[in-house]
Amino acid sequence: MSRNLPLVGVILLLGWAFWASPTTAEIAAGVAVFLFGMMALEQGLRGLAGGTLETLLSRSTDRLWKGLAFGAGATALTQSSTLVSLLTISFLSSGLLGLYQGLGVIFGANLGTTTGAWLMAGPALHFNIGRGALPMLTFGVVLILTRHATLKSIGWALAGIGFLFLGIQWMKDGFETVQQAFDLTEYALTGISGLALYTVIGIFATVIMQSSHATLILTITALAAGQLSYENALAISIGANIGTAVSTGLAAITANVEGRRLAGAHLLFNLGTAIVALVFIVPFMLAVENLAGLFGVGEDNHALRLALFHTLFNLAGILLMVPLIPVMVLTLERIFRSKPMPADQPRYIHANLLGTPGSALEAARKELLRLFNRASGVMATALNFEPAQFRQAEDPEALLQKPPRVHDHDMDALYLEKVKPLHGLIVDFLARIPVKGKRAQQLVSLRMASQSLVEAFKDTKHLNKNMVRNLRSKNAALKKEYLQIRANLGWLLNQLQHLSDSDEEDLEVELAELSAMAEQADIVASGHLDQLIRDRLISAEEATSLMNDSAYAYRIARSLIVMARVTFGSLEGLDMELQDQLSLDPDELRAILTQADSETQEKVDPP
C-alpha cells in the first residue's frame, strides 16, 4: 500500500486542481494526450525501425564518435531517448556493446533530446497544429486495424504524431485561457531561491510524467503564453535533465548489472551537466544572448532562447564528460560488480531483450556458445581426458595414449547439473522472441543448434558406457579402436573450443576440415571394421558394439559441427551454403516451431 501513496497523492492533487479550475483540466489533458502520443509513436517506430536501429547500433561500436552520433541522430529521428536507451541496454546485456561505447550512445541521446525543444519552439508554436492531428489520427487508426505488420506500425506512428500535435494544441489553448484569467508570472522567483525551486519542479515533473520531452514542451508552451518567466524556464529545463536520469535509475533498479551501470552513468552525466549549468548559468545566458543576436532571434522570443540554452548546456556536458569516460567506466565497474554466474543462470539472455529481436537472437547465440563450452568440458571428462592433456594437445596422436585411470561417470547427473537447466532457459527464451522474415530462419537455426548440442551430449552418454568397458578390455585390437575413437572426439572438442574462443575468419573452412576428418573416421564406411573381422582381431559381438559406437561417434561429430556453424559466427554472417544445409521442408519447419512449447516446459526425461 505504501508504494501506491505517491500515485494516490498525485490523483487527489489533480482531482482538486480540476475541481478548482477547469482550465487546469485542459492543460493536464493536453499533457496526458501528449504522453500517450509518445508511447504510440515509440511503438510504431519500434516496429518500423527496430531492425534498422539495431543494425546501425551494431556498426557504431568501434569508435566513440560513432556512438555519440548514433545516440544523437537516433533520438532526434525517433524523438524517444527511451527507445534508444532500451536498445543500448539490450546490446550491453547481450555482450554486443561495451560500457565505453554504450556511454557514448547515451551521451549522444541527451543531445538528441534537445531537438524536441527546437521543434516546439519553432514551427509548433506558430501554427495551429491541432488541425493536422485529426487526419493523422484518422489514417493512423485505419492502418492500426489492418493485419499487415508494417502498415500497423505506420498506423501507430501516425496516431502517435496526431496525439502529440493534439496534446500540444490543448496545452497552448489552456495556457492562453489561463493568461486571460490571471498572470502566473506573479509567482515567479528570482535569484538562487528561484533557480533552486524551479529546478526541483523540473525534476519532479519529469519523474511524474516519465518524460523530459513532456516537461520541456509544457515549459515552452507556458513560456510562450507568458505564464512563466524566462529565468524560471531555464531552471526547469535543467531540472528536466536531472529528472530523466532519476527515472532511468529507478527503472534500472531491477535490471542486470549492465543496466545499472548504464543508469549510473546516465545519472552522473546529467547531474554533472546540471551542476555546471547551474553554477555557470550567467555565462550560459550571455552565450545564448550572443548566439541569439548572431542568428537573428528576437529579444522577446524566449522559447527559441530556451531551446538554444538547453542545447548549449547539454553540448557542454558532452565536452566535459567524454574525456572522463574511461574513469567513469572503471568507477562504475567497481561499484556495480558482476557476481559469479551460477551454473543454471544465464549470462546474456534477459527478458528485457525480447523487445529487440536482433539483439535477443544474438544474446541467445552467445548463451548457446557458453553452454557449448560447459558441455564440451563435461564430454571431455566423460571420455576420460585430463584437462591439461586435453587443452595442450597439438594433434590427434597426442590424445591416443591410454588414460592412466578409467572412470565411469554418471552422465545423467552431469546432464541434470551442467546442461539441462541452462538449455531449458535458452529454449524458453527462443520461444518468446517475436520474429519474422530472415529472423525466423535464424531462430530456427538456433533451435536446431541447441538441439544438436543436446543430442551430441546424449550420444556421448551412450558411447561412454561401452568405451569405459572396452578401454579396460584385454583385446589389444579392440582397445586400440576405442582409443582411436576417443582421440578423434577429443581432438574435435579441442579444435571446436579453440574456434569458439577466436574470431576465425575462415570458420567454414576449418569446420569443413573437421567434417572431413569425421567422415574418414567412420570405420564402417571405410571398410576397416570388415578387415578387423576378417583378420579375426575382434569377435562378432565386439564388432557389433564397435559398429554402434562408431556410429555414435560419427553422430556426435556431425551434431557438434552443425551446432558450431550456427553458434561460432555472427548470425548476420550465415551464408547461403549454411542455409541450404539447414533448410527444411514445411512439415519439418512446422514441427520444430510447434515443439517449442513442450521444450519450454522442460518436461523431457533426462538422457
Write out pLDDT tens, residues 484-511: 888 888 888 888 888 887 665 677 888 8
Q: What is the mean predicted confidence (pLDDT) over 276-296?
A: 87
pLDDT score of 576? 40
Q: What is the mean predicted confidence (pLDDT) over 414-442?
A: 85
Tell me the domain boundaries of the chain: 2-335, 353-601
pLDDT at 592 over 60: no
Residues 6+ apart with CB under 8 A from 113: 75, 81, 212, 213, 244, 314
Q: Which range among 274-283, 392-401, 519-528 has the greatest average pLDDT? A: 274-283
pLDDT score of 506? 74
pLDDT at 185 over 60: no
pLDDT score of 24? 67
pLDDT score of 560? 93
What's CA 423's distance to the chain center, in Å?
20
Distance CA 307, CA 288 (A): 10
Q: What is the mean predicted confidence (pLDDT) over 112-128?
A: 69
For residues 580 and 545, which has the higher predicted lDDT (pLDDT)? 545
For residues 170 and 548, which has the higher predicted lDDT (pLDDT)? 548
Distance CA 546, CA 146 (A): 61
pLDDT at 295 over 80: no
User: In Å, what is the CA distance from 310 to each residue of 204, 219, 430, 451?
Assistant: 18, 12, 43, 53
End-to-end CA distance of the chain: 48
pLDDT at 174 over 60: yes
Q: What is the mean predicted confidence (pLDDT) over 271-277?
A: 88
pLDDT score of 583? 44
Q: Which three cell numbers stand for residue 499?
A: 574456434
User: In Å, what is the CA distance from 206 to each residue of 2, 37, 43, 53, 72?
Assistant: 22, 16, 21, 26, 20
Q: Which of 25-39, 173-187, 212-226 has the lowest mean pLDDT?
A: 173-187
pLDDT score of 97? 73
Cβ-contact 389, 397 below 8 angstroms: no
pLDDT tens profile 306-323: 888 888 988 988 888 888
Q: What is the mean predicted confidence (pLDDT) over 32-60?
A: 70
Q: What is the mean predicted confidence (pLDDT) over 76-94?
A: 71
Q: Which fold has domain 353-601?
A: Methane Monooxygenase Hydroxylase; Chain G, domain 1 (1.20.58)
Instruction: Tell me the pLDDT band of 450, cut-offs 50, 70 and 90.
Output: very high
Instruction: Tell me the pLDDT band of 35, cut-offs 50, 70 and 90.
Output: confident
Cβ-contact 462, 552 below 8 angstroms: yes
Query: Which amino acid is located at 376 in the chain?
Result: S
pLDDT at 607 over 60: no
For residues 510 and 27, which has the higher predicted lDDT (pLDDT)? 510
pLDDT score of 292? 84
Q: Which of 64-73, 183-192, 332-341, 541-550 has the lowest mean pLDDT?
A: 183-192
Helix, strand, or coil (residue 339): coil
pLDDT at 412 over 80: yes
Buried/exposed code over 477-506 (b: 16+ C-beta within 10 A; e: otherwise) = ebeebbbbbbbbbbbbbbbbbebbeeeeee
Q: Which of 190-194, 350-354, 424-428, 473-477 has the lowest mean pLDDT?
A: 350-354
pLDDT score of 526? 82
Q: Which three cell numbers stand for residue 11?
A: 490523483
For the whole prediction, is pTM greater than 0.75?
no
Instruction: Tell me the pLDDT band of 572, cut-offs 50, 70 and 90.
Output: low
Tell me the average pLDDT of the chain.
77
Count of other CB atoms within 10 angstroms of residue 414 = 21
pLDDT at 170 over 70: yes
Q: Which of 22-36, 55-69, 450-464, 587-601 has the lowest mean pLDDT?
A: 587-601
For residues 362 and 580, which has the higher predicted lDDT (pLDDT)? 362
Q: What is the mean predicted confidence (pLDDT) over 268-296?
A: 87
**Considering the chain, what percentage of its residues have pLDDT values greater than 70?**
76
Q: What is the mean predicted confidence (pLDDT) over 378-400?
A: 77
Check residue 124 and report its DSSP letter.
I
Distance CA 229, CA 222 (A): 9
Cβ-contact 60, 101 below 8 angstroms: yes
Cβ-contact 133, 166 below 8 angstroms: yes
